[in-house]
Structure 1
Amino acid sequence: MGLDDVSQKPHDRLAAWLASDMAAVNALIAARMASEHAPRIPQVTAHLVEAGGKRLRPMLTLAAARLCGYDGDNHIKLAATVEFIHTATLLHDDVVDESQRRRGRPTANLLWDNKSSVLVGDYLFARSFQLMVETDSLRVMDILANASAVIAEGEVLQLTAAQDLATTEAIYLTVVRGKTAALFAAATEVGAVIAGVPEAQVVALRDYGDALGIAFQIVDDLLDYGGTDAAIGKNTGDDFRERKLTLPVIKAVAKADAEERAFWVRVIEKGDQREGDLDHAKALMAKAGSMEAARAEALDWVARARSALGVLPDHPLRGMLDELADYVVARIA
């Protein structure tokens, strides 16, 4: 089930509440992704930025700042920064994963080439750091620079852990914190920091973003085996074909008998995948109850996210962030 398949859409209510801010963010993104000398940069960037993404991460920055009473304009720069970092990582990820679809469209590396995707991603990282500097906040720069490093570290760890059946749930969580939760946490944390609120509220919003990001990624991993192409914006089964050890697979491997483990060794570690293997993998996960167990963990992280909001001011945006956490898991209800 995708974000658009549920009648209640907290992200739409959030977008409506933040409409004027998001318009300013989009205008800033359009201005800063321009290039005087390399027209391919805005071409590649626009292909991904304008592909209908929900802009969830920059909205989290705007929501955190407004929830904390911020009335300046640096949150616009920070939201654009967060979106540029996210877009840069997507461009790089699609090259690493040799992906062909992103948000329901052909990937930039497929339409252009790997070199263009990598270099445009580098350009967006550079633009993001320019925007950070303009806020004149060393703490904000530290948070976002650290998040960028953690994202890269998580991706490198995934390269070594993804096809190793010895990968544990703890290693998986480290990867998820890097590739997804780090930017969610940074997005909400910098919104609070720029508003100058007490440290307890900064920590609360960081913890909310961290827990939301982990739940979000677990759900994405589940959708790869139980969703539809339209729901996830890529081909279902891509994680299996790319031999990624995601949470439902890790849990199934942990309960596998000798014959089942031999199957996982063949398709994940050795990459010898045959007709019908994806269906067999789903059957093994159903037998092990690993999809249900992974969903339970996603629900636990959602509960942590909602709990973190308790110290924040009573505000409509707080209610929307609370609903958004529930909504993440509603995609697999």
Structure 2
Amino acid sequence: MTPFSYHKPASVGEAVGLADVSSRFIAGGTNLVDLMKENVVRPERLIDITGLGLNGIQATANGGVLIGALVSNAELAWASVIEQHYPLLAEAILAGASPQLRNMASTAGNLLQRTRCYYFYDTGTPCNKRAPGSGCPARTGLNRIHAILGASDACVATHPSDMCVALAALEAVVHVQGRAGKRQIPFADFHRLPGDAPERDNQLAADELITALELPPPTFEDHYRYLKIRDRASYAFALVSVAAGLNLNGGVIQDARLALGGVAHKPWRDPAVERTLIGQAPTQALFTQAADALLQGAEPLAHNGFKVPLAQRAIVRALSDAALGAKARGATS
């Protein structure tokens, strides 16, 4: 770990005033500290935001919820408003990490965690995400955990978050503040596909700080499912994950959301595929068609071709479970 300076600002304005490309904001530090220990990132300045009051979960005027950037993953998952009205999010959070990490990890930090690509963490190998222009050995190397959708010649890394897959399906909004002021970013636009600039995971400017996360009014309170497929049942990242939400009326789908994790550089969602479900009765044949459509254009690598049929089956299962309903299947968050 290289030397760095440490600052604990008293306000959001002071925090963003200190921020630049050589600095990092830190809260729980569950990912950032590991990256620093491995010399993957070497900030010259750490800006501790834990004293800025970005805590709490409160109702919004339109019937949604505003979640402070520093709310821990554990607090969020077990908050009564999330358990009751956004159980898809609670289920996704509890599928990730370990209880100890969930106690430390923050809401904003979860959005900003970096890929777990082997080559990204190995500073002895090239990596375009870590050192732009150096190459992507994962394309021809060990790539079992890597992307099958939305990748580029420059990068085939995947986004590691479970929470973000559910947030994509719920159409959350990210509130940020920088020296230029405040803005809101729809969740679908927050994370980036790698393109030719894989070093950029998201749309934040160097001086912008996530201050809150907003959820729209509740939906999918019974017909939801977060399904995570991984190598072991505890503390493992998803090979494939699915966040599915359905609104049903009279046995017909009125609204649908579907997002994938573990398959791309960002949570993968296609609203056009979701619209094909609306007005239809929930059947396995319909869900199979949706799975095929969502995975259209998948380009597996040498070692991760299994992800395509795995994702197809996971989508059908998640949608089928969502259609059945949490009460009917005895689910609890």
Larger relative strand fraction? 2
* Shorter-chain TM-score above 0.5: no
TM-score, L = length of structure 1: 0.28
Whose RCO is larger (CA < 8 A, sep 6+)?
A: 1
TM-score, L = length of structure 2: 0.28
Larger relative helix fraction? 1
